[in-house]
Amino acid sequence: MRDRFRAGDPTALGEAYDEHARVLYHYAYRVCGDRAAAEDVVSAAFLEAWRCRGKVHADGGSLRPWLLGIATNIMRGAAREARRRDAALARIPERGVLPDFADDVLGRMTDTEQIRAARVALGKLRRREREVFTLVVWAGLDYAAAGEALGIPVGTVRSRLSRARERLRKLAEAELRAARRRERSAAAAVRSAGRSAPGGPPAGTEGPPSTAEGTRSSVAAPGALGTSGAPEASGAPGRPGTTRASGSPGVPVRSSGVVTGFLVAPASVPGPVPGPAAAPAPPSPAVPGSLSVRSSVRPAPAPRPTSENQA
């Protein structure tokens, strides 16, 4: 096999792989402790052996010792590369904990609010205190230079600066509280406007009445349909008359030749008109195609037979 392998016979490479691949794998796995790395070592070992097949000695027995030596060198090279990689990574400085972007934005907003409050409070200081504070704190002058610029002694500069700092602190705190109250009021107004947005009834108002309520108020209410008592004598039977409940003009409704009720036009005043406190009679069965009207007027009795009729 050595001669054929050295001569570049592919069949000899296949035979060597079938005979020694398992041994190389177990050896690499015991050294590396990783199955994937052991498989890579076996593949790299046979590729390197085929590339260097001219170095195989013609005399000798099995190729296993030579292949195990190649696998050992490959694992040593991989270990040296891993150490170099770890050393290079160790030289990279650590980033540490990155600051939270939200905290940064919140801090900037707080600083902006404080600067705005300080500017407003500075405008509320007395002119002499504001001049001393501006020269010493913002312009960076010392007490002597500020006194020379203002034409006052150094002691006066110190006293005015002390009073200015104390009043400025109190005024700035008050301005911050006022600004936060304004922000809360604005947020509450926005929420209130969102609740009363177009598309629904405004806050504190009721919606339109239901169909049943409208029907009760416009049809079945007393005064809309006059059913209590007979109509007043305002004309011949069958002509529009008035009802006792509301006095509105109505149209008589006949049932079997007897006036049983009046249909009255709705009054101009909204809402039901109270009628007489009388218990309504139970409704009679509705006849298909007819109007069911409640009435407390009884039908007229039939005429009794007289002697002339009997004759």
Backbone angles phi, psi at 129, to 5 degrees: -65, -40
In degrees rounded to 5, what are phi and psi of residue 254? -105, 145
pLDDT value at position 258? Answer: 46
Q: Domains of the chain (ranges plus CATH)? A: 2-91 (1.10.1740), 102-190 (1.10.10.10)
At residue 305, the pLDDT reads 55
Which are the contacts of 170, defined by CB distance < 8 A and separation ≥ 6? Answer: none
| Contact yes or no for 133/125 (Cβ under 8 A) | yes
CB hemisphere CA count around 61 (13 angstroms): 3
Beta strands in 17-106 (DSSP E): none
Q: What's residue 96's pLDDT?
A: 63
Residue 259: the pLDDT is: 47
pLDDT score, position 63: 86
| Model confidence at 170: pLDDT above 80 | yes
Q: Which residues contact 5 (CB under 8 A, 6 or more apart)?
A: 12, 13, 16, 53, 56, 63
Which of 73-87, 114-128, 297-311 has the least mean pLDDT? 297-311
The yes-or-no verdict on residue 211 having pLDDT over 80 is no
More confident residue, 52 or 311: 52
Which residue's entry shows tokens 């060198």? Answer: 73
Please report the pLDDT score of residue 171 as a whole number: 81
Give the pLDDT score at 296.
47
What band does 104 get if pLDDT is binned at 50, 70 and 90?
A: low
| pLDDT top residue among 230 and 91 | 91
pLDDT of residue 220: 42
pLDDT of residue 228: 41
Sequence letter at residue 27: Y
pLDDT tens figures, 28-45: 888 888 899 999 999 999
Q: Is the pLDDT of residue 297 over 70?
A: no
At residue 142, the pLDDT reads 87
pLDDT of 92 > 80? The answer is yes
Which is more confident, 277 or 57?
Answer: 57
The 10 Å CB-count burial string (b at 16+, else e) for 243-261 is bebbebebebbebeeebbb
- Which pLDDT score is estimated for 301? 57
Per-residue model confidence (pLDDT) at position 38: 92
The pLDDT value given to residue 107: 55
pLDDT tier at 199, thresholds 50, 70, 90: low
Strand 225-226 with 249-255, pairing = unpaired
Q: What crossing angle do the helices spanning 64-91 and 35-51 adopt, rounded to 10°?
A: 120
Distant-in-sequence, close-in-space partners of 75: CB < 8 Å, separation ≥ 6: 28, 31, 32, 41
CB burial readout 85-104, b (16+ within 10 A) else e:
eeeeeeeeeeeeeeeeeeee
Q: Which residues pair with 259 in a beta bridge?
A: 254
Q: How confident is the prediction for the chain on average, in pLDDT?
A: 69
Return the pLDDT at 47.
93
Beta-carbon contacts of residue 166 (< 8 Å; ≥ 6 apart):
none
Residue 283 has a pLDDT of 52
Residue 244 CB partners (closer than 8 Å, separation 6+): 226, 228, 229, 232, 276
Could you tell me the pLDDT band of residue 125, with boundaries at 50, 70 and 90? confident
Predicted confidence at residue 298, as pLDDT, reads 55
Decide which of 169 and 310 is more confident: 169
Query: 207 pLDDT exceeds 70?
Result: no
Nearest by Cα to 260 from 290, 303, 221: 290
